[in-house]
Each structure stands twice: as structure tokens, then as C-alpha cells.
């Protein structure tokens, strides 16, 4: 019995080593070890991680090695992964997405942690008086697109719109934050709003239908679930002739008319440059303010044609 | 060598995560082994525990009161499943799934409509935090969670020795027989599900503090980890641990083993895209071992005869 078990465990280790297949890079003396913890496999998050690696490699060359681990969407794995980083004494942790940053921040107060793809650090880390700098061992970049400009953009593209439906996934903290901000701006402008939240892929169609029936225009924030289901949303919006303004380029490409968005790759690059400064000793993480990525204005030419909308000047086609 | 030392260094973290999940495993043990039903409520009630605890702590309530309230909320979730099962005659597994589903919305309401609520160790006096897991101080979470687990095991050992506890065990073993003895089977089911989910919520409440946030998705896959803890514990200790209290201890150790194996595979540099596959493999292997063991002994028996 015990023998069987030992063999079983050995097989398991052997298998996992095979899976590992040189994924781990060895750290030589005088090099920096950077742990990357990413919440889930996702186009935007992957792009941010890639940008981070490219920027840091460009700055430090062979002097940096990465240990990149993905929690595969299970939040509890973030704690396990970060525990591994802290115990192998990495020089810096890059945490991609809000739960990853929370896990890293609660695991260490000494190793510098740089977050990315986090919308709002004050919300994620529960900071009362927000000054733009976290002030502890945590800093990073925010994927917050300028929400006031997005709200203005709705009026710019659809000056006659009276009712704006806000479509998002209730499981995503960042979406709720964005929707509330945009709602406040729109209300100030005297536009009626209503929230339409879906819980997952299964009820996205019926909620979108409800939203399309009620609204003149729909606003979709930077929302991971919406991003994975643009086709389902587009099928309803096109049929009911309801245009959508989106918080992010990927969603706009699939089901929206126009967007004012950021590139996650650029966001990762910005984070990588911050990391280089910390590792070279040029800056202290506690003094670094949260940085943002530059904004781009884009429109979806196919959708504009379908809805018969003339694109507003200053926007470029995706 | 650096690999070994970093592995050794990661042990306290993996162990505390394991012990916290072990409490959840003990909850699963009550329904899965004692009552002989698979209760899927836990994926929801785990997050409920985290949500209630974090919201109360954020509102300035003492963390001790917060975890008690979290347990009460978990018990209510268990009650809901139990009522669906006993009063509406819905199969246990489906009742659990229904409750789990509804808890998603309820948890969102508890967390004020947000999917993620942080609770920072810098701001609140948390009971357990990953921050101090390697420190030799009173803030280290390990002593507290070990004590808690010990107290829980002692309480359950006492409870399942009482008349009510014995009746519950009889219900799980053979409901028809238990009914014939005049035992109220339905009431026992209700109590078991409430106890179990209270423990699961406690585990969720501790884990939320440990990792610094409660999240709407934190219970996803919880049942798998709970079952893994139960089964790994049995595989390792079923020969040695015959006493009921020791069997519960085995569950806790099972959870620790699960997290150690996971940590080691991660440290080995496993491609984390394969994480779910590896988790499933760990559980499948441990589930299969008892069956193979039985086959092997049967063969031996034939030879001897």
C-alpha cells in the first residue's frame, strides 16, 4: 500500500517535471529574479505580461530571469504562487489583475510588488485617502481608461440619445466601478441610465436583449466576460439596431461602434520600465505613483456601416 | 540547493493554506462520509463565509465576531439546501447546486454589489494573514489555526458521541434502519448540512483574511479541494487512524498534503496552464488508490484460498 502510494507520487512528480519542460529559467549570480503572477489566461492580461517582459528584457537584457505562473482563474492559486515567490526570495513581483495584486500585497511588505491591469488601486487595496501613490511596497499601472472622456464620447457620437444602458458582468469588480463612474457622469448631463448585469456566459444573451430593448445606446466597460462573448452581444445589438460604445478595443472590434481605449501591451511596457528603475536602484517603489497608458480613439468601420453612422472626426478605424 | 531551500521556505505558507482548507475538508467529511451525500453547496457557502467576514471587519466589527457571523451565514446556506432536500424532496446533489447558484447573487448582495472586497492587514487587526507566515511572532497564523482545528475536532468528537450524534451517524450508514429505530432522519440531515456549511464558511472567512480579500469567485472548485483533503487523508491514515477524532485530523493533514504537493509541482516550474490538469490528476490518483487496494487484496485472498 505504502509502496503503491510512493510510486504514485513519484509518477506525479515525474509527470509534472515533464510538463515543466524547461519552463523555469535558472538564475545566475548578479541577475535579478522576477516573479510574474497572472490571474487567468486572457488576451488582455497576456498582452500586459508580454509587454512587461519585453520592456524589462530591453532594459536589463540577460540580467533578468522570469518565473511566470498563471493561477488559471482560481483566486486561491494566487496565494500559493505568491508564497512560492516570497520563499524563493524573488527581487520583484509583477502581479497581473486585481486578485493577484491583493494576494501579493498580503504576502509581503518588503519585496516590491508592481501591479498591472488593475483599474483602481484605492479600491483594490482599500486605501482611504488616495493620493495617486500607494506608499507601501506596492505600485504599478492602471488600466483605467478615462471614464469621463468615455461618457463624453457617448454624447459626442449620439447627441440625441436619452437612455443609455450599462451592460457588464456582475462578477467583475472593475466593471462595476467603471459603470458607476460613467453613470455619474451621464446623470450629470441629464441622460437616463440603467444597469444591466449578467452573471456569466449563460445569461449574457437574455440580459443583452433586455438592455437593447430599453436603451438608445449601450455602454460596455472593460469587462473580461463581455470581451469573451462579443459575438453573442453583437448578434443581438445588430438585430435590434442598438449601437454600443465600449471601454476597450477588443470589445469594440467585436460588437461596438467606437471606443476610447488603452493597449494592454503598452501598459505592460510601462510596468516593465517601472520595474527596471526599481531593480537598478534608481527609484523606490513606495515613492512611485501609479502610472497609466496613453489613450487611443478608434471606431469599428463595419458596425458604423451597419448602423449608418458617420464616424466622428478624430477617430481612426480599427 | 537553492531549490531545496526555497522549497523549505515555502512550507509554512503551504501548510497554513492547507490547514485553513482542512477546516473546509472537515465540513465536507461530515456530509460526504458521515451522511453519505455529496453537498455542492460548499462552493457557494465558502464565498459566503469570506463575504460576511470581510464586510463585517470592514464595518469595524471584531474579527472574532465576524467569523462567528460568517459561520452562522454558512449554517443558513446549509439550512437552505437541507430544506430543499428534505421538505421539497429534491435530490441532495441538485439541492446543493441550486443553493450554490442562488448564493452567487446573495454573496454579491452581501458584498454591496461588488465582486471583490479587500481587507488589508495594514488597516485591520486580522486573525490570520499570509504576511506573517514566516515570522516567529504572535501574529503568525499557524498557532491560531492549529488551535482552532484542534478545538473543532474535539467539539465534533464530543458531538458525534452524544445521542444526537450517534443517531446522525446511523442515518448516514443506513437510513432505512435508522428510520426503523425511530430516528428522525430528516432532522439529522438538516443538522448535518448546517454544521458542515458552518465549517466551510469558517474556512472561507479565514482564507479571505489570509489572502487579503473576499472575491465572488473564491469558492470556485472548493468542493474538489475538500474532497481531495478527505480522500488523501484516508489513503494515508485509514490503516493507522481508527478513532473518529483521528479520522478528522487525517482530513486536515490531507489538505496540507494537497497544498504541499501543489506547491512542489509549482516550484518544480510546472507550466501553470496545466495547473487544473495536475489538480485533477492529484485528486483522481488519490480517489483511485483505495479501489486498487481493494482489488489487490481480493486477488491475494483468492490465491490464499
Query: ipTM exceeding 0.85?
Result: no
Per-residue confidence (pLDDT) for residue B190, from 0 to 100:
95
Task: Name the grid cell of B2.
Answer: 537553492
**Residue A10 maps to a domain:** no
How many domains does chain A fold into?
Answer: 2
* CATH of residue B176: 1.10.3470
Q: H helices then E strands: how many in chain A?
A: 13, 13
Q: What pLDDT shows up at residue B301?
A: 65
Please tell me whether residues A74 and A132 are part of one structural domain: yes
Instruction: Say if residue A89 is in the same domain as residue A174.
Output: no
**Structural domain range at position A43:** 30-143+264-295
Contact A5 B272 (CB under 8 A): no
A125 shares its domain with A271: yes
Question: Based on the domain organization, do A37 and A133 belong to the same domain?
Answer: yes
Instruction: Give B-chain residues touching A23 at CB under 8 angstroms.
Output: 269-271
Q: Is the pLDDT of residue B282 over 80?
A: no
Instruction: Tell me what pLDDT residue A23 has.
Output: 41
- Is residue B62 over pLDDT 80? yes
**CB-nearest partner of B115 from A41, A89, A173:** A173
DSSP B30: I
Same-domain status, A135 and A151: no
pLDDT digit string, tens, across residues A91-143: 999 999 999 999 999 999 999 999 999 988 998 898 888 888 999 999 999 98
| Whether residues A216 and A278 fall in one domain | no
Nearest neighbour of B221 by CB, restricted to A5, A74, A136? A74
pLDDT over 70 at B109, yes or no: yes
Which of the residue ranges A46-50, A106-110, B233-237 would you say has the lowest mean pLDDT?
Answer: B233-237
- Using CB atoms, pick whichever of B118, B215, B278 lies closest to residue A126: B118
Q: CB–CB of A83 and B217 under 8 A?
A: no
Q: Across residues B211-224, what is the average pLDDT?
A: 88
Domain residue limits at B210? 2-304
Q: What is the CATH number of the domain that holds A191?
A: 3.40.50.2300
Of B211, B261, B274, Cβ closest to residue A106: B211
pLDDT at res. A20: 47
What pLDDT sits at residue B221? Answer: 82
- How far does B146 lie from chain A, in Å, by closest CA? 19
* CA B264 vs CA A71, A94, B14, B135: distances in Å: 15, 21, 10, 21
Same domain, A34 and A136: yes
Percent of chain A residues past pLDDT 90, beyond the cut: 58
Instruction: Judge contact between B202 and B19, C-beta under 8 A.
Output: no
Q: Please check whether residues A211 and A268 belong to one and the same domain.
A: no
User: What local confidence, expressed as pLDDT, does residue A11 receive?
Assistant: 60
Between B268 and B16, name the one with better pLDDT.
B16
Q: Is residue A183 part of a domain?
A: yes
Q: Do A122 and A154 reside in the same domain of the chain?
A: no
Task: Report if residue A240 sits inside a domain.
Answer: yes
Between CA A24 and CA A46 the distance in angstroms is 18
Is-contact B249 B19, C-beta < 8 A?
no
Residues 140-199 of A with CB under 8 A from B: 170-173, 176, 199
Number of domains observed in the structure of chain B: 1
Task: Tell if the CB–CB gap between B263 and A83 is shorter than 8 Å.
Answer: yes
Exposure string over B245-283, b if 16+ CB within 10 A, otherwise e: bebbbbbbbbbbbbbbbbbbbbbbbbbbebbeebbebbb
Amino acid at each position: 500500500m505504502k509502496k503503491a502510494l510512493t510510486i504514485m507520487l513519484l509518477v506525479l512528480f515525474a509527470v509534472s517535471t515533464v510538463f515543466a519542460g524547461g519552463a523555469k529559467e535558472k538564475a545566475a549570480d548578479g541577475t535579478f529574479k522576477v516573479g510574474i503572477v497572472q490571474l487567468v489566461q486572457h488576451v488582455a492580461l497576456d498582452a500586459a505580461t508580454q509587454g512587461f517582459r519585453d520592456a524589462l528584457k530591453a532594459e536589463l537584457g540577460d540580467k533578468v530571469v522570469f518565473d511566470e505562473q498563471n493561477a488559471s482563474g482560481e483566486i486561491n492559486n494566487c496565494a500559493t504562487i505568491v508564497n512560492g515567490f516570497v520563499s524563493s526570495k524573488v527581487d520583484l513581483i509583477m502581479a497581473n489583475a486585481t486578485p493577484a495584486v491583493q494576494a501579493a500585497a498580503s504576502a509581503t511588505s518588503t519585496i516590491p510588488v508592481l501591479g498591472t491591469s488593475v483599474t483602481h488601486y484605492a479600491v483594490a487595496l482599500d486605501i482611504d485617502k488616495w493620493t495617486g501613490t500607494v506608499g507601501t511596497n506596492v505600485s504599478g499601472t492602471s488600466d483605467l481608461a478615462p471614464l469621463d472622456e468615455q461618457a463624453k464620447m457617448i454624447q459626442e457620437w449620439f447627441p440625441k440619445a436619452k437612455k443609455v444602458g450599462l451592460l457588464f458582468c456582475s462578477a467583475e469588480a472593475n466593471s462595476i466601478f467603471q459603470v458607476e463612474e460613467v453613470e455619474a457622469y451621464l446623470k450629470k448631463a441629464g441622460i437616463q441610465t440603467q444597469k444591466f448585469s449578467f452573471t456569466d456566459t449563460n445569461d449574457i444573451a437574455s440580459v443583452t436583449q433586455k438592455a437593447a430593448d430599453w436603451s438608445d445606446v449601450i455602454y460596455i466597460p472593460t469587462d473580461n466576460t463581455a470581451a469573451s462573448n462579443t459575438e453573442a452581444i453583437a448578434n443581438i445589438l445588430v438585430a435590434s439596431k442598438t449601437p454600443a460604445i465600449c471601454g476597450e478595443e477588443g470589445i469594440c472590434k467585436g460588437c461596438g461602434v467606437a471606443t476610447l481605449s488603452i493597449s494592454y501591451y503598452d501598459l505592460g511596457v510601462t510596468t516593465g520600465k517601472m520595474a527596471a528603475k526599481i531593480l537598478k536602484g534608481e527609484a523606490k517603489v513606495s515613492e512611485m505613483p501609479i502610472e497609466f497608458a496613453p489613450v487611443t480613439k478608434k471606431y469599428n468601420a463595419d458596425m458604423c456601416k451597419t448602423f449608418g453612422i458617420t464616424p466622428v472626426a478624430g477617430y481612426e478605424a480599427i | 540547493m537553492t531549490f531545496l531551500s526555497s522549497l523549505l521556505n515555502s512550507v509554512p505558507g503551504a501548510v497554513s493554506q492547507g490547514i485553513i482548507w482542512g477546516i473546509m475538508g472537515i465540513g465536507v467529511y461530515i456530509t460526504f462520509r458521515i451522511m453519505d451525500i455529496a453537498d455542492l453547496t460548499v462552493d457557494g457557502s465558502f464565498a459566503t463565509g469570506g463575504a460576511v467576514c470581510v464586510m463585517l471587519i470592514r464595518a469595524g466589527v471584531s474579527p472574532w465576531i465576524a467569523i462567528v457571523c460568517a459561520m452562522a451565514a454558512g449554517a443558513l446556506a446549509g439550512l437552505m439546501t437541507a430544506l430543499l432536500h428534505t421538505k421539497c424532496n429534491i435530490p441532495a446533489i441538485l439541492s446543493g447546486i441550486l443553493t450554490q447558484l442562488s448564493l452567487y447573487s446573495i454573496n454579491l448582495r452581501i458584498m454591496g454589489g461588488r465582486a471583490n472586497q479587500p481587507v488589508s492587514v495594514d488597516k485591520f487587526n486580522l486573525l490570520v494573514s499570509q504576511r506573517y507566515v514566516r515570522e516567529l511572532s504572535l501574529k503568525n497564523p499557524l498557532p491560531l489555526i492549529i488551535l482552532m482545528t484542534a478545538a473543532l475536532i474535539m467539539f465534533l468528537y464530543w458531538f458525534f458521541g452524544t445521542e444526537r450524534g450517534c443517531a446522525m451517524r446511523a442515518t448516514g450508514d443506513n437510513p432505512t434502519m435508522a428510520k426503523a429505530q425511530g430516528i428522525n432522519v430528516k432532522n439529522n440531515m438538516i443538522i448535518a448540512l448546517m454544521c458542515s456549511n458552518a465549517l466551510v464558511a469558517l474556512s472561507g472567512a479565514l482564507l479571505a483574511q489570509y489572502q487579503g480579500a473576499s472575491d465572488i469567485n473564491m469558492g470556485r472548485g472548493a468542493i474538489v479541494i475538500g474532497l481531495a483533503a478527505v480522500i488523501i487523508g484516508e489513503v494515508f491514515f485509514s490503516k493507522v487512524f481508527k478513532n473518529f477524532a483521528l479520522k478528522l485530523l487525517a482530513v486536515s493533514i490531507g489538505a496540507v498534503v494537497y497544498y504541499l504537493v501543489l506547491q512542489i509541482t509549482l516550484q518544480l516550474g510546472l507550466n501553470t496552464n496545466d495547473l487544473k490538469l495536475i489538480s485533477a490528476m492529484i485528486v483522481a490518483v488519490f480517489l483511485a488508490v483505495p479501489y486498487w487496494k481493494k482489488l489487490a487484496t481480493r486477488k491475494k485472498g483468492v490465491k490464499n484460498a
